[in-house]
Structure 1
Amino acid sequence: MMMLCLRKLGGIEQQIQFNRTLQRLLSMSFPAPDLAVTASEIERITTLINDLPFPHQPLQPILEVRMSSHSLSNPLVEEVLGRLFAAHSNGLKALEFFHYSAKHLPEGPSADAFEKTLHILTRMRYFSQAWDLMEHVKVTHPSLLTLKSMSILLSRIAKFQSYEETLQAFDKMEKSVFVGRKFGTEEFNVLLRAFCTQRMMKEARAVFNNLYSRFSPDIKSANILLLGFKESGDITAVELFYHEMVRRGFKPNPVTYDIRIDAYCKKGCLGDALRLFEEMEKLGNFKPTIKTITTLIHGAGVAQNPRKAWDLFDSILSRNMKPDVGAYNSLISSMVKCRDAKAALHLMKEMEEKQIEPDNVTYHTVFLGLIRLKGIESVCDLYSEMIEKNFVPKTRTVVMLMKFFCVNRRIDMGMSLWEYITGKGQCPHSHALDLLVTGLCSRGRLLEAFDCSKQMMERGRQMSELAYRMLFGSLYQAGELEKLKLLDGMVNKLVNVLPPSKGHARGMLNQDVD
């Protein structure tokens, strides 16, 4: 009976809310920006795109009204698409923005913009749209079809589809998309990398062995496979394949040594890594880079050897190199692993003093150290500093902080983080929403949980089944029937337009439930 009553509730509230949002977007004052790409302009456009209700309204008409085509530039488009990617924005919105920019840019879109659009589409499994975009670009801007764009699509197909479908996609690219291009070793390496990045080493070896005679692999091919074994965490497989590649006639290069050193460092085998490092230096023509030293610093942290980490860091200057953000991040990580959060914070301050901007890895690592060692107040202090600097953390940092705040009963900080991220035009990941909805519902703050869920779905991202069922049950117990109907309606609309994904909400009111 309850379900029947809910079904009779019209979509009036949803339509009213949509009209209000659309009216707000159309009435907002957006001054024509300077040609220079500014952070505020990037944020403005990103927010405009993300705030548009999905899938009710096409994006391009809003862009035509609220953006000046004269203000468009490839750097601006690339930055906005980068923000949309980092924000886990809906892929179809990104595609519309790409087509809008392609239509108005006299020089046409850049390869970077095209590749970012492909990234966003394929991450959400919009493979049909990704192929259509490839076909479209083949006709309009064939120069955008690069090895990187090929790699993006193949890697996602390898992740979400079968081995056979990945090979079919490679064949389709050769015969239908990259027409006129003779596929050789470079394209073969892209196919290898597609499997290796997904740690599908059995499939990668099959490709290597089956297509070896056709494509004549080079040292880069061998290094891609070696890297795949390293990322799989199997040192034995790394060394076995290393000796195999030497037997096949491949000559190791500095990249080969870096991969092997990293494999040992990640397992805490610092002595073996240093032995390879010394061997590398004795070869003369294999000069270690700052990346090599950075890897060893990280390895010293894994091995719980802070003194060696500092010695390696200090050796950077003695080798006439300059510490970069990666070197600092590795040393900070080592200090955190050695339970010295104070040193990690000091290093972060030192970076700023030396005009080396902390990046997301820096913040994530220091937050991790404070969470483990210092407690809630230290985390809140760094969080406040981050907000003051207008730094927007990436997904894994947002999820980590949201979990920490909610577990420590600081739901106010969780809401602050949510509002900050969404205010920056971001669309938080569903994992962050799961944590926030759980925290809010457990404290009886149902309307806030509903508003956050609604906000994410209006931006074109689906709730998880876990968060949906929790919120559904809480609203039902509270007698919030209208909101229950609205919630279920939004979920079902996204079910119809988003590619199916494991763990996403499917709706309940259309099911046979008493």
Structure 2
Amino acid sequence: MEKLKAVSPFRLAALLRREKDPKLALQLFLNPNSNPNSTHKPYPYSLLSYDLIITKLGRAKLFEELELILSKLKLETRFTPSEIIFCNIITYYARARLAERALHVFDEMPSFRCGRTVKSLNTLLNGLLICREFDKMQKVFVGLDWFACPDACTYNIMINACRVQDDMVGAWELFDEMRNRGIRPNEVTFSTLITGLCRSLKVNEALKLKKDMFKVYNVEPTSYVYASLIKGLCEIKELSLAFQLKDEMLERNIQVDSAIYTTLITGLFKVGRNNEVYVVLEEMKSKGCIPDTATYNALIAGHCAEKHFDLALRSLNEMEEKTFKPDVISYNVLIKAYFKEGKIKEAIDLFEDMPRRGCKPDVVSYRIVVQGLLSGMQLKEVAFMLDEMIFKGYAPHHATVDKFMNLLHEQGNLELLFEVVNSLAKGNHIDSDSWTLAISTITSKYKLLNFHDVFDELTNSYNLAP
């Protein structure tokens, strides 16, 4: 870092912009000249320098340091901070789920001589939505007339909050209030409402709104609107209407992406129209839309549901031949289907082959395997897989472990029971119920009545550590 005896405000801003490390940037900001003990007058920071350091600290989530900068900014008298700076700070706090701090910044804006407009109000409302602080949102919204007049963005945020809570009645009330106040709904308004209606399976209402948005409000339906409607229609098995909307998109030169084709493929499998799946795939490719990982995962899941494992495996292998690789979901779906059908060997072979295929098993992979082996009564393999799972830092599903240990208890299988307890203890996943079960088993097996004898049997004979 450069150390100059006299760094101008313009030069300081340039140095801050160049510095990638936020902590070093903070040191530079606080000590722009080489002599921090100088008796000269306070350094004349520029608004740009404040903006740059606040951005760096906020993105790095260095909030205590950010508060220090804000305390200095509050003392500045040479300029008035811009509203966008506070909007950014509110957003940083919201992304960190610090709703109270975001509210505090909004409340403190006047003390920085900065007026609050609908822009900062909307930023705060959106931040509270990110934090899922719906009650706080409502309080701010009710008192918004003290700060600014709401706009379409304000209502869109509040309608989205209702959608997130599955409160479509509240969303409609806000939509009506919005129009009564003379605020024109836009494409975001309709997209949010239609998405909420589709997720509530009120697809007919969503279709009507889609017509109204163009005929009544002259707002063109977006690809997002079409995607929501197509997904909703597939959910209620109205495939014909879903395909009609897809064709309408093509006619209106609205891009049909891989997500929409994937939704249609999933819908076809759901209603048993498997023979049409590859027709859709061919159309997809002919339109220049390349099948992606989600598309192939839909194929794998669909073939597995129909017990066409050869086709599912073929889709998995085909993915590997493409420029993209199968993800862990691809394998998990097929492995789970194998276990469900009692194909334990095939499931284990594929699971063990995952690293060679360039995909690392995750916690879900291990849980599927443990559950599958347990259902197949492969008890030794379950104990081995649990130990490997815990060794790799993954937490087993509590209900599955309870089921396994109770089964070993019923069989009086002390050897495996102690192996499991040992594995759980190593990973710090053992609880009082597990210890109680182990003690109960050894007590009934060896007729030991003294607790200390039981404890010694567990800890000394099997090297267990409570």
User: In which range does the TM-score fall when normalised by the shorter chain?
Assistant: 0.5 to 0.7
Larger-gyration structure (1/2): 2
Kindly state the Cα deviation for residue 471 of structure 1 after the two structures are TM-superposed.
4.8
What residue number does 1:170 align with? 102
Supply the distance in 1 between the matched residues of 2:396 and 2:145 (Cα, whole angstroms).
45
Contact 2:90–2:102, Cα closer than 8 Å, also in 1 = no
Deviations 1:336-393 (A, max 9, x none): 4443223234323543565533334423433443344454444344334345546333
The correspondence of residues 456-475 of structure 1 with structure 2, limited to 5 A, is 456-472=389-405
What residue number does 1:289 align with? 222
Unpaired runs of 5+ in structure 2? 1-17, 23-57, 71-84, 440-466
Q: 1:153 aligns with which of 96, 99, 105?
A: 96
What residue number does 2:367 align with? 434
Supply the distance in 2 between the matched residues of 1:369 and 1:385 (Cα, whole angstroms).
16
What residue number does 2:43 align with? none
Kindly state the Cα deviation for residue 136 of structure 1 after the two structures are TM-superposed.
8.1
Supply the distance in 2 between the matched residues of 1:212 and 1:400 (Cα, whole angstroms).
52
Supply the distance in 1 between the matched residues of 2:287 and 2:219 (Cα, whole angstroms).
30
Kindly state the Cα deviation for residue 465 of structure 1 after the two structures are TM-superposed.
1.5
Q: 1:410 aligns with which of 319, 343, 348?
A: 343
Supply the distance in 1 between the matched residues of 2:354 and 2:180 (Cα, whole angstroms).
52
Supply the distance in 1 between the matched residues of 2:227 and 2:60 (Cα, whole angstroms).
41
What residue number does 2:13 align with? none
SS in 1 for 2:427: helix
What residue number does 1:261 align with? 194
Contact 2:380–2:416, Cα closer than 8 Å, also in 1 = no
Deviations 1:309-351 (A, max 9, x none): 2222122232123322233233324434443223234323543
Q: Which amino acid aligns with 1:168?
A: E
In the superposition, the TM-score normalised over structure 1's length comes to: 0.57
Supply the distance in 1 between the matched residues of 2:402 and 2:291 (Cα, whole angstroms).
39
Kindly state the Cα deviation for residue 407 of structure 1 after the two structures are TM-superposed.
1.6
RMSD value, Cα: 4.4
Contact 2:328–2:361, Cα closer than 8 Å, also in 1 = no
Supply the distance in 1 between the matched residues of 2:148 and 2:277 (Cα, whole angstroms).
48
Contact 1:376–1:408, Cα closer than 8 Å, also in 2 = no
What residue number does 2:426 align with? 490
Supply the distance in 2 between the matched residues of 1:250 and 1:267 (Cα, whole angstroms).
26
Q: 2:268 aligns with which of 313, 335, 345?
A: 335
Q: 2:129 aligns with which of 193, 199, 214?
A: 193
Contact 2:214–2:220, Cα closer than 8 Å, also in 1 = yes
Supply the distance in 1 between the matched residues of 2:223 and 2:104 (Cα, whole angstroms).
40
How many corresponding residue pairs?
A: 360
Supply the distance in 2 between the matched residues of 1:330 and 1:375 (Cα, whole angstroms).
20
What residue number does 1:15 align with? none
Contact 1:427–1:459, Cα closer than 8 Å, also in 2 = no
Pair 1:385 & 2:321 matched:
no
Deviations 1:179-227 (A, max 9, x none): 98978224313333225xx5x7556434533566457654223212222
Q: Which amino acid aligns with 2:100?
A: Q
Supply the distance in 1 between the matched residues of 2:350 and 2:92 (Cα, whole angstroms).
34
Query: Percent same amino acid among aligned pairs?
Result: 20
Q: Which amino acid aligns with 2:130?
A: A
Supply the distance in 1 between the matched residues of 2:438 and 2:417 (Cα, whole angstroms).
15
Q: 1:370 to 1:225 in 2, by over 3 A?
A: farther
Q: 1:467 to 1:261 in 2, by over 3 A?
A: same
Kindly state the Cα deviation for residue 439 of structure 1 after the two structures are TM-superposed.
1.8
Kindly state the Cα deviation for residue 255 of structure 1 after the two structures are TM-superposed.
1.0
Supply the distance in 1 between the matched residues of 2:136 and 2:437 (Cα, whole angstroms).
43
What residue number does 2:212 align with? 279
Supply the distance in 2 between the matched residues of 1:376 and 1:384 (Cα, whole angstroms).
12
Unpaired runs of 5+ in structure 1? 1-105, 111-129, 155-165, 496-504
Supply the distance in 1 between the matched residues of 2:339 and 2:423 (Cα, whole angstroms).
23
Kindly state the Cα deviation for residue 475 of structure 1 after the two structures are TM-superposed.
7.1
Supply the distance in 1 between the matched residues of 2:202 and 2:268 (Cα, whole angstroms).
18
Q: Which amino acid aligns with 1:170?
A: A
Pair 1:315 & 2:251 matched:
no
The correspondence of residues 351-390 of structure 1 with structure 2, limited to 5 A, is 351-352=284-285, 354-373=287-306, 375-389=308-322
